[in-house]
Amino acid sequence: MATLELTAEEEGMLSGRDGDGVALAMRVVVGQARILDAPRLVEITSAHVDSCLYHGQVSLDFAHRLVELGARTRVPTTLNVGSTDLVHPQLVRDQQLARAGRELMEAYVDLGCTPTFTCAPYQLPNRPRLGEHIAWAESNAIVFANSVLGARTDRYGDFLDVCAAITGRAPYAGLQTPQARRGTVVFDCRALGEFTELTYPLLGHHIGSVVGVDIPVLVGIPSAVSEDSLKALGAAAASAGGVALFHVVGVTPEAPTDLAGLPVRIVEDLQDVRRELSAPGSQLDAVSIGTPHASYDECVRLAQLLDGPPLKLPFYLSTSRATRDRLGDTLAVLERAGVTVVVDTCTYVTAILQPTWKRVMTNSAKWAHYAPGNIDVDAILGSLTECVASARAGQVVLDA
Amino acid sequence: MIGRTLHPGTATGRPIRLTTPLSFWGGTDADGRIVDTHHPQCGASLTGRILLMESGRGSSSASSVLAEQIRARTAPAAIVLARPDPIIPLGALVAAELYGLYLPVVVAPYDDIPDGTVLKVDAKPDRAIITW
């Protein structure tokens, strides 16, 4: 086991030189570094905090302890979704949870975090660049930062994220180190033929389900693949498995050019994955998209698809408050068409959908994976076009 | 059996061996029951059991969910993993900081642990000992 070496600055933080809040945060970072066998800590340039989502009294106890002890973030720090929509508070049915959620979100702002409340911080300006050391939590944010941006974050859990923000340090271990970032298994996707929008979440779920601790290298992905498709792929892979980094040959910045010696898995068909993530039958109660948060481009595309006959079913769109603010006339188009825009939170982490709704369609493999356990609905996975067509028809309509 | 301590503590209980990894967030509820419908052992209760599991999986929020279960006394009595996982012991670490409650998290060759008998986990900072 490596011995953890701390700098004089870090020893000072640990011993309480900068206050008890910094010392507590440093104990958590150092504890994590020891678990990970890190030889040292690394300075980070930004943090993304997942801990602002309420998971019970412990969430408030931890944040309040840090506030009481005078802790403040020392690097730019964004916040993940919380347990309520602060812009549309009437959307959340469980007012007790909403109150606790609001209290927690405010505590993190008091610690110096920016109130972004989005699971897609990579859609905000000033995103980290290739090679930057960061401490991001939330599994889809982690996999996107590592894979698509080439920034370096390990898979951090709640609590460590804010402690890294307060100390400006993370353990130098795991995906912070170059040797841990090498691809270890090739997924040859050339036999899949034409890639549709739905191919990406299905492929992500498939890879996450089989990859174990490996780092996948994808071959045969169209070079013009959009960031939104990579987002869908990564989010699905991170929730179906523990994928925190993938490489796409010809697309992502750290993808290897020499694949010799790596084991190869051929991906031929993803129909089984779609069946696994979708309940059978045509009855449908609602549609919910935007997990992770819909990008500006996705919101615009949805608005275009909604130009036509009216929707028969409730339609929810989760996005960030920043993206909503950018939408301008598009927001009006969406709302006129009957879309309920949800910000600051997500429809599968808080009580927004009606409890009588038992079958909900989504374009997100991550939502389809978690919603049955989280909010007790059967999910049906479809493309954005299929989601709109189904909401119009009042029942599940699939292209193929 | 000797293991590596990821978080110290002592516990005694009956083992429950998971056949695939589990994320506490989305995978367990506040009462310590497995609610992940994709998990083969969905419905099983982990409260007070010595949880034998290859590793954690998925969400970063698993550390919060575990810490809350420790606070609410619905957590497993101890967790034995086949390989180190950073997110699970983080929940144990924070519960110890806030509440002084210690849930041992250990890495050990858990395939060799028998299923049908009470286990004792004694995890000290330098090493963990599992007996039955």
Closest alpha carbon to A347 in A164, A123, A2, A81: A81
Q: Answer for the pair A381, A365: CB distance below 8 angstroms, yes or no.
A: yes
Question: Is the per-residue pLDDT at B60 higher than 80?
Answer: no
Decide which of A128, A155, A179 is a domain's last residue: A179
B27, B55, B94 member nearest A373 (Cβ): B27
Q: How many CB pairs under 8 A join A and B?
A: 123
Q: What token pair was written down for A75?
A: 């690097």
Residue A3 within any structural domain of the chain: no
Decide which of A222, A256, A274 is a domain's last residue: A274
The string of pLDDT tens digits covering residues A45-64 is 999 999 999 999 999 999 99
* Residue B20 distance to chain A (closest CA, Å): 11
Instruction: Please compute the mean of the pLDDT values over residues A130-141 and round it to a whole number.
Output: 96
Q: Answer for the pair A287, A316: CB distance below 8 angstroms, yes or no.
A: yes
Q: What token pair was written down for A269?
A: 């068909």
Q: Are residues A206 and A170 in the same domain?
A: no
Q: Are residues A312 and A285 in the same domain?
A: yes
Q: What token pair was written down for A5?
A: 């070496």
Count the domains in chain B. 1
- Beta bridge partners of residue B33, listed in sequence order: B45
Question: Residue A25 has what pLDDT?
Answer: 98
Q: Do B91 and A53 touch (CB under 8 A)?
A: no
Chain A: residue whose CA lies nearest to B65: A55
Q: Do B86 and A373 touch (CB under 8 A)?
A: no
Q: Are residues A284 and A170 in the same domain?
A: no
**What whole-number distance in Å separates Cα of residue B19 and Cα of residue B67?**
23
**What whole-number distance in Å separates Cα of residue A351 and Cα of residue A370?**
14
Within 10 angstroms of residue A266's Cβ, the number of other Cβ atoms is 12
Q: Answer for the pair A175, A154: CB distance below 8 angstroms, yes or no.
A: yes
A159 touches chain B (CB under 8 A): yes
Q: What token pair was written down for A323?
A: 């993206």
Residue A363 within any structural domain of the chain: yes
The string of pLDDT tens digits covering residues A321-378 is 999 999 999 999 999 999 999 999 999 989 999 999 999 999 999 999 999 988 999 9
Q: Residue B83: its chain A contacts at CB < 8 A?
A: 213
* Residue A398 distance to chain B (closest CA, Å): 24
Q: Do A138 and B60 touch (CB under 8 A)?
A: yes
Residue A1 within any structural domain of the chain: no
Residues in chain A: 400
Interface residue of B7, B38, B93, B94 to substitute, partner A, most A CBs within 10 Å: B94
Q: Are residues A293 and A215 in the same domain?
A: no
* Residue A307 distance to chain B (closest CA, Å): 36
Q: What percent of chain A has pLDDT over 70?
A: 100
Residue A10 CB burial class (10 angstroms; 0-12, 13-18, ≥19): buried
Q: Do A370 and B26 touch (CB under 8 A)?
A: yes
Question: Is the per-residue pLDDT at B58 higher than 70?
Answer: no
- Cα dihedral sign, A125-A388-A189-A119: positive
Q: Are residues A30 and A163 in the same domain?
A: yes
Outline where DSSP puts E strands in A283-374.
Answer: 286-294, 315-319, 339-342, 359-362
Residue A241 within any structural domain of the chain: yes
Q: Are residues A39 and A145 in the same domain?
A: yes
Q: Which residues neighbour A70 within 8 Å (Cβ) at sequence distance 6 or greater?
A: A19, A20, A21
Q: Do A158 and B93 touch (CB under 8 A)?
A: no
Question: Residue A400 has what pLDDT?
Answer: 65
Q: Residue B84: its chain A contacts at CB < 8 A?
A: 35-36
* Residue B8 distance to chain A (closest CA, Å): 11
Q: Do B37 and A373 touch (CB under 8 A)?
A: yes
Structural domain harbouring A200:
182-274
Question: Is the per-residue pLDDT at B109 higher than 90?
Answer: yes
Residue A317 within any structural domain of the chain: yes
Residue A22 within any structural domain of the chain: yes
A142, A158, A213 member nearest B61 (Cβ): A158
B26, B30, B36 member nearest A56 (Cβ): B30
- Beta bridge partners of residue A150, listed in sequence order: none
B84 touches chain A (CB under 8 A): yes
Residue with tokens 């068909």: A269
Count the domains in chain A. 3
The CATH number for A140's domain is 3.30.499.10
Q: Do B59 and A139 touch (CB under 8 A)?
A: yes
Chain B: residue whose CA lies nearest to A349: B26
- Report chain A's mean pLDDT, rounded to a whole number: 96
Q: Answer for the pair B55, B81: CB distance below 8 angstroms, yes or no.
A: yes
Q: What is the DSSP code (8-state) at residue A88?
A: S
Q: Are residues A302 and A170 in the same domain?
A: no
Q: Which amino acid is at A341?
A: V
Structural domain harbouring B15:
2-131
B118 touches chain A (CB under 8 A): no
Q: What are phi and psi of A317, to 5 degrees?
A: -125, 120
Residue A172 within any structural domain of the chain: yes
CA A84, A115, A33, A63: dihedral to nearest 10 degrees? Answer: -60
Listed by number, the residues of chain A in 221-240 with a beta carbon closer than 8 Å to a beta carbon of chain B are: 238-240
Q: Are residues A260 and A289 in the same domain?
A: no
Q: Are residues A40 and A111 in the same domain?
A: yes
Question: Residue A250 has what pLDDT?
Answer: 97
Q: Is B116 left (phi over 0), alpha (psi -120 to 50) or beta?
A: alpha
A28, A56, A158 member nearest B60 (Cβ): A158
Q: Are residues A76 and A187 in the same domain?
A: no
**What whole-number distance in Å separates Cα of residue A355 and Cα of residue A374?**
12
The CATH number for B6's domain is 3.50.30.10
**What whole-number distance in Å separates Cα of residue A29 and Cα of residue A115?**
23
Q: Do B68 and A239 touch (CB under 8 A)?
A: no
Question: Is the per-residue pLDDT at B131 higher than 70?
Answer: yes
Instruction: Classify strands A135-136 and A47-49 as parallel, antiparallel or unpaired.
Output: parallel
Decide which of A233, A249, A274 is a domain's last residue: A274
Residue with tokens 């990564």: A234
Element (H, E) at A169: strand A169-171
The string of pLDDT tens digits covering residues A207-224 is 999 997 799 999 999 999
A242 touches chain B (CB under 8 A): yes
pTM of the model: 0.93
User: From the centroid of its chain, how far is CA A275?
Assistant: 23
Q: Which residues neighbour A380 within 8 Å (Cβ) at sequence distance 6 or greater?
A: A278, A279, A284, A359, A360, A361, A362, A368, A390, A396
Q: What token pair was written down for B115?
A: 């299923």
Higher pLDDT among residues A212 and B17, named by residue: B17
Question: Residue A1 has what pLDDT?
Answer: 62
B35 touches chain A (CB under 8 A): yes
Q: What is the DSSP code (8-state) at residue A4?
A: P
Q: Answer for the pair A10, A17: CB distance below 8 angstroms, yes or no.
A: no
Residues of B marked active site are found at 59
Q: Do B64 and A159 touch (CB under 8 A)?
A: yes
**What whole-number distance in Å separates Cα of residue B132 and Cα of residue A255?**
48
Q: What token pair was written down for A373?
A: 């356990």
Q: How crowded is the C-beta side of A368, counted as CA atoms within 13 Å?
A: 27
A39 touches chain B (CB under 8 A): no
Element (H, E) at A43: strand A41-43
* Residue B59 distance to chain A (closest CA, Å): 6
Residue with tokens 């969406």: A334
Q: What token pair was written down for A2?
A: 């490596």
Instruction: Please compute the mean of the pLDDT values over residues A240-263 and round it to a whole number.
Output: 95
Q: Are residues A284 and A259 in the same domain?
A: no
Determine which of A6-10, A337-341, B9-13, B32-36 has the lowest per-residue pLDDT on average.
B32-36
Peptide bond into A292 cis (omega under 30): yes
Q: Are residues A173 and A27 in the same domain?
A: yes
Residue A365 within any structural domain of the chain: yes
**What whole-number distance in Å separates Cα of residue A194 and Cα of residue A200?**
11
Question: Is the per-residue pLDDT at B48 higher than 90?
Answer: yes
Q: What token pair was written down for A284?
A: 């449908």
**What whole-number distance in Å separates Cα of residue A41 and Cα of residue A173?**
8
Q: What are phi and psi of A209, to 5 degrees?
A: -70, -30
